[in-house]
């Protein structure tokens, strides 16, 4: 892929973790962000870090089902029996037969990783850490270590779709992220999780933590949600409407196309560029 003026862009090289309550729309937000970032001439690496969702990003970005998924990255590192859980073994991820940890010796994506491990669309590359494939497979901690430590050379914006909830904070996955984006829908559960994430980010010293309101059906709903957020209101960098086009896409299995939400995410990305550039 060709890099187009990446070095003068505020988000170049950033690792952005997108998290939140299950069903809040994290994967959709990631796909919309990837589309906008590509429009803005960023090189984008999307990492599917959700071990449970069987389709999600591959459908939203490529209009494909599970049969089109790329080979899981955990196999590049030796598989689920070789990669350790970050709680039991906090040591960093390493390549097979290489003692240098990946965060110190980043992956040269297109020279080291075989094409079967990724899909490309324009300047966007999709990879996946791995999925729960079999009954009794065990802890997904090794998959989360791949999410935490899979770091590539170059200026690509890394947008990472995380699984639902806050378990990854207990495994210190955000330690190697530059930006944490929490996605909220119109529920008290979303607000509670956002407040807990804010507490964890403060404990970890993570400054770039921001919130996106999603599936907002009216100004009244947005106002109620903002009120519930209290002192976190200043962390909200934008909201996305309850878009019927996204519902149709979800049912049709097609890739994302033009929709109102896409333009709203364009404003969110612009806002993110502003707040990150001043850190």
Q: What is the pLDDT of residue 254?
A: 66
Question: Between β-strands 209-216 and 179-184, what pairing exists: parallel, antiparallel or unpaired?
Answer: parallel
* Helix locations, the chain, DSSP H: 26-39, 57-62, 73-76, 109-112, 141-149, 167-170, 188-204, 219-229, 244-252, 260-277
Any domain includes 1: no
Asked whether the predicted pLDDT for residue 3 surpasses 50, the reply is: no
Closest CA to 139 of 81, 96, 193: 81
Asked whether the predicted pLDDT for residue 93 surpasses 50, the reply is: yes
Asked whether the predicted pLDDT for residue 278 surpasses 70, the reply is: no
Which string of DSSP letters, residue by residue, matches 229-259? HGGGGGGEEEEEE--HHHHHHHHHTPPP-S-
- Determine the Cα–Cα distance for residues 205 and 216; give it in Å rounded to an integer: 30
Helix axes 219-229, 188-204, angle to 10 degrees: 40
Q: What CATH number corresponds to the domain at position 248?
A: 3.40.50.300
Asked whether the predicted pLDDT for residue 92 surpasses 80, the reply is: yes
Looking at per-residue confidence, does 278 or 169 come out higher? 169
What is the number of domains present in the chain? 1
- Determine the Cα–Cα distance for residues 47 and 229; give it in Å rounded to an integer: 29
Mean of pLDDT values over 199-223: 94
In three-state secondary structure terms, 46 is: strand
Asked whether the predicted pLDDT for residue 143 surpasses 50, the reply is: yes
Any domain includes 115: yes
Asked whether the predicted pLDDT for residue 237 surpasses 70, the reply is: yes
Q: What is the pLDDT of residue 29?
A: 95
Looking at per-residue confidence, does 54 or 39 come out higher? 39
- Determine the Cα–Cα distance for residues 215 and 221; give it in Å rounded to an integer: 10
Give pLDDT tens digits for 43-80: 999 999 988 877 778 888 888 877 888 999 999 999 99
Asked whether the predicted pLDDT for residue 4 surpasses 50, the reply is: no
The answer to which of 129-138, 182-191, 243-252 has the lowest mean pLDDT is: 243-252
The structure tokens 């995410």 sit at: 265
- Determine the Cα–Cα distance for residues 88 and 171; give it in Å rounded to an integer: 9
The structure tokens 């080291």 sit at: 112
- Determine the Cα–Cα distance for residues 11 and 158; give it in Å rounded to an integer: 9
In three-state secondary structure terms, 150 is: coil
Any domain includes 200: yes
Q: What is the pLDDT of residue 251?
A: 63
Any domain includes 264: yes
Rg for the chain (alpha carbons), in Å? 18
Q: Report the predicted TM-score, pTM, of the whole model to 2 decimal places.
A: 0.92
The structure tokens 């994430």 sit at: 197
Q: What is the pLDDT of residue 1?
A: 39
Any domain includes 168: yes
Among the ranges 132-136, 225-229, 240-244, 254-258, which has the highest mean pLDDT value? 225-229
Burial class (CB in 10 A: 0-12, 13-18, 19+), 196: middle
Tokens, residue 223: 């106002």
Mean of pLDDT values over 16-20: 96
Asked whether the predicted pLDDT for residue 258 surpasses 80, the reply is: no
Asked whether the predicted pLDDT for residue 158 surpasses 60, the reply is: yes
Helix axes 260-277, 244-252, angle to 10 degrees: 110
pLDDT mean across residues, the chain? 90
- Determine the Cα–Cα distance for residues 134 and 273; give it in Å rounded to an integer: 40
Looking at per-residue confidence, does 65 or 40 come out higher? 40
Closest CA to 150 of 45, 9, 70: 45
Q: What is the pLDDT of residue 259?
A: 79
Measure CA 210 to chain center: 13
Domain that holds residue 86: 6-277
């Amino acid at each position: 892929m060709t890099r187009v003026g990446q070095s003068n862009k505020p988000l170049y090289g950033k690792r952005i973790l997108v998290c939140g309550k299950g069903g809040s729309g994290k994967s959709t937000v990631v796909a919309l962000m990837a589309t906008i970032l590509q429009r803005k001439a960023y090189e984008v690496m999307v990492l599917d870090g959700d071990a449970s969702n069987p389709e999600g990003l591959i459908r939203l970005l490529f209009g494909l089902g599970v049969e089109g998924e790329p080979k899981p990255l955990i196999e590049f590192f030796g598989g689920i029996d070789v990669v350790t859980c970050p709680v039991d073994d906090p040591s960093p991820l390493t390549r097979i037969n290489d003692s240098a940890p990946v965060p110190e010796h980043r992956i040269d994506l297109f020279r080291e990783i075989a094409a079967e491990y990724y899909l490309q669309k324009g300047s966007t590359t999709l990879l996946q850490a791995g999925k729960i494939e079999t009954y009794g497979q065990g802890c997904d901690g090794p998959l989360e270590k791949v999410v935490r430590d899979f770091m590539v050379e170059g200026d690509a914006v890394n947008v990472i779709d995380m699984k639902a909830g806050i378990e990854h904070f207990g495994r210190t996955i955000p330690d190697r992220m530059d930006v944490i984006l929490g996605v909220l829908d119109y529920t008290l559960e979303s607000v509670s999780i956002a407040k807990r994430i804010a507490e964890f980010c403060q404990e970890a010293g993570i400054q770039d933590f921001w919130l996106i309101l999603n599936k907002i059906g009216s100004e009244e709903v947005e106002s109620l949600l903002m009120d519930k957020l209290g002192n976190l209101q200043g962390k909200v960098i934008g909201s996305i409407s309850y878009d019927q086009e996204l519902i149709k896409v979800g049912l049709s299995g097609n890739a994302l196309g033009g929709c109102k939400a896409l333009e709203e995410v364009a404003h969110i990305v612009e806002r993110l560029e502003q707040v990150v550039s001043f850190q």
